[in-house]
Structure 1
Amino acid sequence: MSISTRRWATAATVALLAPIALAACSSGGGGGGDEDSKSLTIWHYEGDDSAMGQAWAKAVDIFKTEHPDVTVKVEKQVFEQIQKNAKIVLTGDDVPDVMEYNKGNATAGQLASQGLLTPLTDVAKEKGWDKKVSGSLATTAQYDENGLMGSGDWFGVPNYGEFVGVYLNNDLFKENGVEVPTTFDGFEEALAAFKAKGVTPLATAGAEYPLGQLWYELVLHYGDRALVDDYQLFKNDVDWHGDAMTEATNKLDEWVKKGYIASDSAGLTAEDMGVSFIAGKAPIMVSGSWWFGRLATEITFDWSQTLFPENKLHPGSSGNLWVVPTNAKSKTLAEDFIDITLRPEVQNILGEKGGLPVAGDPASITDPKTKELTQNFADVVSSDGLAFYPDWPVAGFYDVLVSQLQSLVNQSKTPDQVLDGLKDAYESGKADLLGQ
């Protein structure tokens, strides 16, 4: 299953969480009592040919070499079934020892709040996971007693990531005599130059996530980490008509009016957007790293990937988590396996295959485009630049974001009206989530 599909499984299924007290709430690793275990059961849902699937296979080989007396069972699961049935499965006795699971309040956070996952705080410190995975990358690894991400105990460990950037059709830039932008002003100049030549510059999609991510890139361009903490983690109230939100929404409205975004974009899907870019019809696509493998396979023109110009913050997060169920029988072995997935020999496989390792070395990658992507991600992580996704904060916000921004593209709502609609849904969802 692709990263993009998993991402939107998270976004579209965020549910309200009741404040359920944590069971098994020590911050230790919970590994005691299984030192004599002779088996380890691993669940994951990555394809064998994917970057993650190849990396996990290497981790299993290393584990077997270092634990020759342990029987290892790797069971491939279906992502949607784990999403739907994890709570039921993990309340029983026949559970995996370590499993890949989706990050976020409604998934890992919910299981943690219900006492179904083992706290890993002490072992994270002992093994140095908190050093390899830190800052914004660690946010999805930690959950409080209500299952809200960003604080509390470690309940999972990510070892790859994802982020949104800018894909460029370099051939179209050359053919039209447009300079590849390195600044935000240059980006807007390029949009204007293409439009003047009769080329709609931005491939996007209003019926699904891409337009919301483009809007969020603009919010992050005008905003800062404090805004992200308020918006995503509820540190303080969000000023929906403050400078960042207002300037971003006005700028997107301006781009629509100037024709930088196609008038039919409101009805297009992410697939429509990607196919258009792959076909060479648009010079610029703002979207996620999950497109990289497909673009590398299908594109026939000269292309590149970069970060949104001058942004210090970018949409993105860790990938999925390795978690240890509370009822697991081999917790110490599970912790050993997790530790192996963060080693250079495993992380560098992720990097070589475009999997965006959290602790890899971009210098070890030979393919130029993969190295470019991985270095961009490494730059974001090193500057604590991951800002999560715009639809994450509250239940149902994805649909509201899509609808409101469609109205902006259709010019049926003003930027202020769009912000009012987003504010109402956000504030209502936040109050429900926090039990206010």
Structure 2
Amino acid sequence: MSTRSTDPPPIRSRIDRALIRGAAGATAVLLLTSCATLSSGNGERDNVPEDVSTDITDEPVELTLAYTDDPPSTELVEGFTEQHPNVSIELQQTPFTDYVKTVTLSMSSDEAPDIAQYNPGAMRSLIPSGHVMDLEPYVEAYGWEESFPEATLEPLRADEDATRFGTGSLYAVPGALSVLGVFYNRELLARAGVEEPPATFEEFEDALAAVDEEGIAPFSVGGLEVGGFQVWNTLLNAFGDHEAYRDWVHGAPGSTIETDEAMTATGILTRWVEAGYIPESANATSDDDAKAAFGNGESAFLMIGNWAAFEMEEALGEDVGFFLLPGEDPDQVPMTSGSSVSYTVSSGTEHPDVAAAFLDYLSSPEAARIQLDTGFMPVDTDASTGEGGVLEEINSVYGTAAEQDGIVPFPDFATPGMIDQLTPGVQGLIAGSTDEETFLSDLQAEWDRVHG
């Protein structure tokens, strides 16, 4: 995810396998009418398929899928192959820390996996070299611009040189969505006299002051890992110029993160540090320890993504809620960073139509159930858990933001090395060893190194 550090870590799966088995016969197996040709006549790799088909052969097909996050990869593969029992998909998992290097090497080899979990850092070399499939012919064949929300497809587009994202051809589709926001403890807020989630940023800061005055820690923060920069990221969502920010992440020429809006967001973070709202121990606290502290009722708020939902609901039950950090105007479009566990197809696959059928399956109602049950937002934003609780709240706010074009990328998508500036940079802000200007300047210097 760049690197994909803000994407969810592995989560305990709650798949209802009986539901998946019941859906196995919902889609008929179709006869293959054509096969996409991915090699040009001069022997050079051609990544644009021709004569694509949405039909699937009933002959045995073996595919491989390389991935790093689990779930939902395993569960989605199981759901697809139960609908298409003639298709088997071998899973090849690589730890996140090794994934960019591993998938770059494997996708450029003669034995590339047919499908791979998408990673922008790897795409910077795989797209220009033609090793991943340009999916535009399948976009038209399947109607993906209708079945996948545009906000989820935009970050998966790139130009031919992979120097700019958010434009050009589509190279992957989402298999599950994530969204950054604020978990809160209803019981602790009520104790401090706060009865409703804040509708404006001013109300949010009033809530911080109220719980602090009550002797309740406002935040749990995992500054040792990515939790610190998720706080900054959340503030940037509430105060940033979102079009300028999108341009910056996507590598548009002349873009900068050294804006008044980013300075405002960064200044609020340092002000929270000075006020004691950010714990002094934050830089020595892991993400897991921060989640555990919030789950144990030790703080009122936790800024993290929906991937923590099952853990928080299990710990706090009906006391846990979720909202997007509001801005100064209660009527402004809700903005949040979100991304997806997405999948791309090798241009060397012998079964491009079957691989594309797997990608299309990711937008189906059956896949939506799997995505929900593994703690992610479904690609079908109209899907509902039907169970209420925090998962329903998360799905609702994500759907509202997506409908209003309010989903923006995570900042570490901007360059492969941006995470290496963000994490220690925010640690410096928390420790007081880095000022706001230097923090933003260092981020821009990394951006200029790649895009300047």
- What TM-score does the superposition give when structure 2 sets the normalisation length? 0.80
AA partner of residue 351 (structure 1): L
> Which one of the candidate residues 180, 190, 197 is aligned to 1:174?
190
Shift of 1:233: 1.7
Q: Which aligned pairs between 1:360-399 and structure 2 lie closer than 5 A?
A: 360-363=381-384, 365-399=386-420
Shift of 1:36: 9.1
Deviations 1:355-394 (A, max 9, x none): 2111253345334332222222222222222211122212
Q: Which aligned pairs between 1:178-189 and structure 2 lie closer than 5 A?
A: 178-180=194-196, 181-189=198-206
Q: Which aligned pairs between 1:94-243 and structure 2 lie closer than 5 A?
A: 94-97=111-114, 99-104=115-120, 106-147=121-162, 148-180=164-196, 181-243=198-260
Alpha-carbon separation, structure 1, partners of 2:47 and 2:72:
34
Give the 3 Å change call, closer, same or farther, for CA 362–369 of structure 1 in structure 2: farther
Could you say which residue in structure 1 is the equivalent of 2:101?
Answer: 84
Alpha-carbon separation, structure 1, partners of 2:258 and 2:167:
28
Work out whether residues 312 and 320 of structure 2, in 8 Å CA contact, stay in contact via their aligned partners in 1: no
AA partner of residue 365 (structure 2): P
Work out whether residues 234 and 336 of structure 2, in 8 Å CA contact, stay in contact via their aligned partners in 1: yes
Work out whether residues 347 and 358 of structure 1, in 8 Å CA contact, stay in contact via their aligned partners in 2: yes
Could you say which residue in structure 1 is the equivalent of 2:285?
Answer: 268
1:316 aligns with 2:316: no
* Unpaired segments ≥5 residues, structure 2: 10-43, 328-332
Alpha-carbon separation, structure 2, partners of 1:278 and 1:252:
23
Could you say which residue in structure 1 is the equivalent of 2:7?
Answer: 7
Deviations 1:25-69 (A, max 9, x none): 53757679x979641314255898x455334322222223xxxxx
AA partner of residue 187 (structure 1): F
Give the 3 Å change call, closer, same or farther, for CA 282–316 of structure 1 in structure 2: same
Could you say which residue in structure 1 is the equivalent of 2:444?
Answer: 426
CA RMSD of aligned residues (A): 3.0
Give the 3 Å change call, closer, same or farther, for CA 29–120 of structure 1 in structure 2: farther
Deviations 1:109-130 (A, max 9, x none): 4322221111110111221112
Work out whether residues 167 and 305 of structure 1, in 8 Å CA contact, stay in contact via their aligned partners in 2: yes
Give the 3 Å change call, closer, same or farther, for CA 167–36 of structure 1 in structure 2: closer
Give the 3 Å change call, closer, same or farther, for CA 47–118 of structure 1 in structure 2: closer
> Which one of the candidate residues 61, 67, 84 is aligned to 1:39?
61
Deviations 1:95-148 (A, max 9, x none): 443x241332x1234322221111110111221112222433112321222224
Alpha-carbon separation, structure 2, partners of 1:45 and 1:234:
25
Number of matched residues? 406
SS in 1 for 2:321: strand
AA partner of residue 186 (structure 1): E
Shift of 1:431: 3.4
Alpha-carbon separation, structure 2, partners of 1:413 and 1:187:
26
Give the 3 Å change call, closer, same or farther, for CA 354–225 of structure 1 in structure 2: same
AA partner of residue 414 (structure 2): P
- What TM-score does the superposition give when structure 1 sets the normalisation length? 0.83
Alpha-carbon separation, structure 1, partners of 2:314 and 2:174:
26
* Unpaired segments ≥5 residues, structure 1: 10-21, 65-70
Work out whether residues 51 and 350 of structure 1, in 8 Å CA contact, stay in contact via their aligned partners in 2: yes
Could you say which residue in structure 1 is the equivalent of 2:21?
Answer: none
Work out whether residues 218 and 300 of structure 2, in 8 Å CA contact, stay in contact via their aligned partners in 1: yes
Work out whether residues 8 and 307 of structure 2, in 8 Å CA contact, stay in contact via their aligned partners in 1: no
Deviations 1:55-86 (A, max 9, x none): 4322222223xxxxxx4222122132654322
> Which one of the candidate residues 357, 368, 388 is aligned to 1:347?
368
Give the 3 Å change call, closer, same or farther, for CA 92–222 of structure 1 in structure 2: closer
Work out whether residues 30 and 118 of structure 1, in 8 Å CA contact, stay in contact via their aligned partners in 2: no
Give the 3 Å change call, closer, same or farther, for CA 57–256 of structure 1 in structure 2: same
1:409 aligns with 2:426: no
Shift of 1:192: 0.5
Alpha-carbon separation, structure 2, partners of 1:28 and 1:431:
37
Alpha-carbon separation, structure 2, partners of 1:202 and 1:309:
17
Deviations 1:315-364 (A, max 9, x none): 211x2222221111111122222222322222233235432111253345
Alpha-carbon separation, structure 1, partners of 2:52 and 2:128:
16
Could you say which residue in structure 2 is the equivalent of 1:19?
Answer: none
Shift of 1:168: 0.7
Work out whether residues 31 and 330 of structure 1, in 8 Å CA contact, stay in contact via their aligned partners in 2: no
AA partner of residue 352 (structure 2): K
Alpha-carbon separation, structure 1, partners of 2:387 and 2:51:
37
Alpha-carbon separation, structure 1, partners of 2:309 and 2:102:
30
Alpha-carbon separation, structure 2, partners of 1:131 and 1:414:
45
Shift of 1:172: 0.9
